[in-house]
Chains A and B, each alone.
Chain A
Amino acid sequence: MSRFFDLTQLPDARGHFGPYGGRFVSETLSFALEELESIYAELKNDPAFQAEFDRDLTHYVGRPSPLYHAERWSREIGGAQIWLKREDLNHTGAHKVNNTIGQALLAKKAGKPRVIAETGAGQHGVATATVAARLGLECEVYMGAEDVERQKLNVYRMRLLGAKVVPVESGSRTLKDAMNEALRDWVTNVDNTFYIIGTVAGPHPYPMIVRDFSAVVGREARRQSLEQIGRLPDALVACVGGGSNAMGLFYPFVQDDDVRMVGVEAGGEGVASGRHAAPLTANAPRGVLHGNRTYLMSDEGGQIADTHSVSAGLDYPGVGPEHALWKDVGRVDYVAADDHDVLAAFRELTCVEGIMPALETAHALAHAKKMAAEMRPDQHIIVNLSGRGDKDIHTVAKIDGIEF
């Protein structure tokens, strides 16, 4: 593989991952991003800060999460062995909490009494509301009005945790609009507010910070693979919306050239239909949104395109800039799983392994199944089981024609 970039040394000083990333924000926010960058630069190598982070991950989140061999499912598929990195077993039920714990500690160090977040499926919002409750921070979560409707359970969870959930009625009423509104809040309240971004997107230094806090997943998986499989896996599979759980799993393996990595985007009604949320798979043009340059779904006039996915958490027209570079240099393959296959995978894992995955996670499972079927039984795939599916029962029931 030809490499022009040392993938372990990114981003550059200005937050660029090759041609992607950067800091495309209104001037009012520049100082807050500079401040965050300098706080993080200091704390990143501070043993006391890292110890506090690790302690919280162990005793509050419940890490390490298990690497579970899905033996029965693997046998039924009849190909490679599938291992599940059980992020669904974390406190709050998804990988998102790893990052929010870290950013909440940064907020505390920055002396900000208020945190805000955007959320799609609600997992990041719940994780933010949770750490805010624990640290006594005021918390406001922006959520697209359509997502408020399809993720009612998480909305109520956030409210129980003391957060204010603000439904966003503008635009497509989904994740991107929630992020617009969070940015509007931040630009207004930047003096007392820390913006906890939930994915590896946004302006520099967020993609780097979220990656670093999420990478605990891959570090553990790498160690567990050596212990439990006796070697590194043949492949890693994770779903990609903004791309934080995939980044978290993949990043510590980025130099392991023999480990294939596959990111699975939301195919919606099929990439060919145009009704999807798969900018990498569809080769969307380069664009700028929410502070960074990346693959971005837009029309010919540069207006952001509407996206479609059964899962609120992947319903986003862009993708983290580091993924964009990884696609270009060929380190990671990006594919899509459509809604139909995703729902089948959701049901299959639930029935065969007794593990109900989030619909986002089911994208990774749908593709892992296809891959496994074409591999040998002595080969191994690790799938990031990024979140649990309780929050999606309402959505699946609706598809089944059941009303509670």
Chain B
Amino acid sequence: MNSSDTNRIDRRFAALKSQGRTALIPYITAGDPGPSHTVGFMHACVEAGADLIELGVPFSDPMADGPVIQKACERALVHGTRLTHVLEMVAEFRQQDTETPVVLMGYLNPVERMGYDNFARQAKQCGVDGFLAVDMPPEEIDENAALFAEHGLQSIFLLAPTTSEARARTICHHGQGYLYYVSLKGVTGAATLDADAVGEQLAKLRELTTLPLCVGFGIRDGESAAAVGRVADGVIVGSALVGRIAERAETPETIPEALKAILGEMREALDRSA
């Protein structure tokens, strides 16, 4: 079900594969600590070596997230950041960066409220490449998958250590772009992961799919990124970045440098271990 090779996500992973590199995928919550900062943070991530950006759509009830991202959502919502604003941010990002893939990540209800067709159309117009809703398993996407595909918006799905082989087959069948392997049972920002155990799981998944396998949850520094990078096609880092944004919420002008520092460390560690 992979869409045409014009999609930025597919292009980016193809290029990384040919270079033998691991994707570095930062997650930040749009609108945190204020809506005017987000596009600058995205560019900073790219400068520090990010290959793809997961941009969080803030939600009032982020039930799969730990306290760090919950608070980021609250900071973003205080300023009135809604899905329409997040789409505008991506459009603004695209004025300078036409190549880095952007995936919107969040919960289903803002899209449900906007309407799937409307969302898919606007998202594509603004330069969004993929969509990942934590609470949208492939069984529930139904006719909306076709709508997304029509607009060239890729559906990204999660896999977990608890996913059965039968479910993994379904998810691999429906998945596009890449698969997001949740390395831990728990919410975002939880404990550190066991890279060897993740490696074993990924090896099993590779028998079911040729999609890139990216790993999130529990990656917080260069060392953990490199450990996972040895077994995964991409590493996703969220709470570690969002935590740094939170620490500097009162001095947002210092945040781009802080993001670059941690992502730079991860980039270097990934490239060194490649």
Contact = CB atoms under 8 A, between A and B. Distances in A.
Interface of A: 14, 22-32, 34, 170-171, 176-177, 179-180, 183-184, 187-191, 285-291, 293, 296, 298-304
Given A31-B167, A34-B167, A302-B82, 6 more contacts: A24-B140, A26-B135, A31-B162, A32-B162, A189-B185, A302-B111
B136 interface: yes
A49 to B, nearest CB: 25
Given A24-B137, A27-B158, A31-B162, A191 B110 contact: no
A181 B182 CA distance: 19
B84 A24 contact: no
Contacts of B112: 286-288, 293, 302
Interface in B123-145: 134-137, 139-140
A190 B77 contact: no
Given A26-B158, A27-B160, A30-B167, A184 B66 contact: yes
A23 B140 contact: yes
B114 interface: yes
B60 interface: yes
B80 to A, nearest CB: 8
B41 interface: no
B192 interface: no
B135 A187 contact: no
Contacts of A24: 108, 135-137, 140
A287 B163 contact: no
Contacts of B77: 303
A-B pairs with lowest CB-CB distance, top 9: A301-B82, A302-B110, A302-B113, A188-B186, A27-B158, A28-B160, A180-B63, A303-B60, A24-B135
A30 B158 CA distance: 11
Contacts of A301: 82-84, 110, 113
B137 A296 contact: no
A287 B135 contact: no
Given A190-B185, A298-B113, A302-B113, A27 B60 contact: no
Interface of B: 59-66, 70, 77, 82-84, 107-114, 134-137, 139-140, 157-164, 167, 171, 182, 185-187, 190
18 contacts: A26-B182, A28-B158, A28-B182, A31-B167, A176-B61, A177-B61, A183-B63, A183-B64, A184-B66, A187-B186, A188-B190, A288-B107, A288-B108, A288-B112, A289-B61, A302-B82, A302-B111, A304-B60
A23 B114 contact: no
Given A28-B182, A303-B77, A304-B61, A291 B113 contact: no
A34 to B, nearest CB: 7
B150 to A, nearest CB: 21
Contacts of A23: 137, 139-140
Contacts of A22: 140
B149 to A, nearest CB: 20
Contact of A184 (B60, B84, B164, B187): B187
Given A14-B139, A301-B82, A290 B63 contact: yes
A114 to B, nearest CB: 14
Given A30-B162, A30-B167, A301-B110, A25 B135 contact: yes
A301 B134 CA distance: 18
Contacts of B82: 299-303
A14 B141 CA distance: 12
Nearest to B171: A27
A14 B111 CA distance: 22
A11 to B, nearest CB: 13
Nearest to B110: A302
A189 B186 CA distance: 7
